[in-house]
Amino acid sequence: MPKFEYAPAPESRAVVDLQSSYGLFINGEFTDGSGTSFKSISPATEEVLAEVSAASEADIDNAVAAARKAYTRVWSKMSGADRGKYLYRIARILQERAREFAVLETLDNGKPIKESRDVDIPLAAAHFFYNAGWADKLGYAALPGGANPQPHGVVGQIIPWNFPMLMLAWKIAPALATGNTVVLKPAETTPLTALLFAEVCQQADLPPGVVNIVTGAGPTGQAIVDHPGIDKLAFTGSTGVGKMIARAISGTRKKATLELGGKAANIVFDDAPIDQAVEGIVRGIFFNQGHVCCAGSRLLVQETIADEVESRLKRRLETLRVGDPLDKNTDVGAINSRAQLDRIIALTDVGEAEGAVRWDNGCELPSKGFWFRPTVFTGVTQTHRIAQEEVFGPVLSVLTFRTPQEAVAKANNTPYGLSAGIWTEKGSRILWMADQLKAGVVWANTFNQFDPTSPFGGYKESGYGREGGRHGLEPYVKGTLS
């Protein structure tokens, strides 16, 4: 097949006004913090973007106190309609400044500008619009508390690096809509858009202390989890840290929602439209470099079409453009960190050692930064670690099946249960499969589709609680289990 060369089409970074260092956002102001600091880099070039404060226990104490004061004096007394006005204002500012956010996200995270521009930032704004609409209608949302649902108070929120702004929106928008105030910690490799969001809070005249942004790594997160002034926690990240949080709060009054890992099956039947299915497989696992908790990392393909799907998939992967995330033509960007790249390398080496067959698209990789070629493993069996563990990178494991029953058994054979995909022409089979699959989200003839009106969350070790939709409001009011 002829290969087309693309002239570079770089997005300008002039729209971003990077400061050399950033403090913590507490009580509506940026403060220096009393802890140490760390650097956030661009994973595509290893360029240092900024120095960021690492919040100490004393800083968390200040942030929680600011959130408490804002909760008791202002936010809990405000009508839902007025809270909604602030959320609408934030949503509109995010839209107005969308390009700035998209470029900064791509710089700090390494994801293609095509994705931050078309997915992350528009969806983040959409979550604020959606939850703004609920703020004055909570009494009609069938929540615990009936006509008058009650917020928890101060919520601690800890988010990962794969969708920094989008995860911030998933966390902050429903918390504020329901009348809580928040202390949020972005991940240490991607703190910059959360700090830009702090500016948006100022621009929207949000009362001081309603949103506090504290940067730092694991110990800062731990200080939030352990702080006695926190009423509820919301966490997205690794299953290991999620389990630690569950242990840390057991026996306390704190509630928690946990959105953890996944090992989703993308199941292709022999009556599926193969070209569309191939696009869905690509979208399922190579979107955002595979740094997606609900990624379709296990392809289950019906045996009769396995060879054809495999060859069409490989041909398609050879056309993926891997490289400069700021280039509008780029399909696959940089791996988020050296540590994550090392994890991907280690687990794929195990895949090969255990006997699976490794293939990659052979593309050239930039000399600086963290990169991994789109990779496919065939000959994978269910006991292989690459079929069981989350690689969290651009790596697909291919398994086959003969009957729908076998597809269900294999799809469910994992400690996780976040998402799944089904590709078939038969509506009845879609419904039967969706009923059998132990996954919080099941996509039919599509994959990795997100919408603020639709709840998202897992079964088993993928966590508990839902985010998005009416269900996503529930964990933020009193009277729920999580």
Q: Which residues are annotated as catalytic?
A: 259, 293
Choice between 108 and 390, CB closer to ligand NAI: 390
Contact 399, 387 (CB under 8 A): yes
Distance CA 421, CA 89 (A): 36
Least CB distance to ligand NAI at residue 351 (A): 15
Structure tokens at 180: 């809580």
What is the contact surface with ligand NAI in residues (CB under 6 A)?
158-160, 162, 185, 187-188, 217-218, 221-222, 225, 236-238, 241, 244, 260-261, 293, 340, 343, 390, 392
**Per-residue x/- marks for Mg ion, 180-199, CB under 5 A?**
---------x----------
CA neighbours closer than 13 Å in the CB half-sphere of residue 20: 0
Choice between 69 and 343, CB closer to ligand NAI: 343
Contact 57, 172 (CB under 8 A): no
Distance CA 360, CA 372 (A): 9
Q: Provide the Cα torsion 202, 126, 434, 398; round to 10°.
A: -80
Least CB distance to ligand NAI at residue 136 (A): 31
Residue nearest to ligand NAI (CB): 221
Contact 371, 46 (CB under 8 A): no
Least CB distance to ligand NAI at residue 247 (A): 11
106 part of the interface to Mg ion, by CB under 5 A? no
Choice between 120 and 461, CB closer to Mg ion: 120
Distance CA 320, CA 48 (A): 28
| Residue 384 binds which of ligand NAI, Mg ion, none (CB < 5-8 A, kind-dependent) | none
Least CB distance to Mg ion at residue 31 (A): 22
The DSSP secondary-structure symbol of 467 reads B
| Residue 40 binds which of Mg ion, ligand NAI, none (CB < 5-8 A, kind-dependent) | Mg ion
| Residue 33 binds which of ligand NAI, Mg ion, none (CB < 5-8 A, kind-dependent) | none
| Residue 369 binds which of ligand NAI, Mg ion, none (CB < 5-8 A, kind-dependent) | none
How many positions of this chain bind Mg ion (CB under 5 A)? 3
Distance CA 86, CA 91 (A): 9
| Residue 108 binds which of Mg ion, ligand NAI, none (CB < 5-8 A, kind-dependent) | Mg ion
Choice between 151 and 237, CB closer to ligand NAI: 237
The residue among 40, 86, 100, 116 whose CA lies nearest residue 182 is 86
Least CB distance to ligand NAI at residue 344 (A): 8
Where do we find the tokens 């990392």? 297
Least CB distance to Mg ion at residue 391 (A): 21
Q: Which of 11, 59, 108, 231 binds Mg ion (CB under 5 A)?
A: 108
Structure tokens at 140: 């009609």
Structure tokens at 159: 């988010």
Listed in sequence order, the DSSP H helices in 57-163 are: 57-70, 80-96, 98-109, 113-115, 121-134
Residues at the interface with Mg ion (CB under 5 A): 40, 108, 189
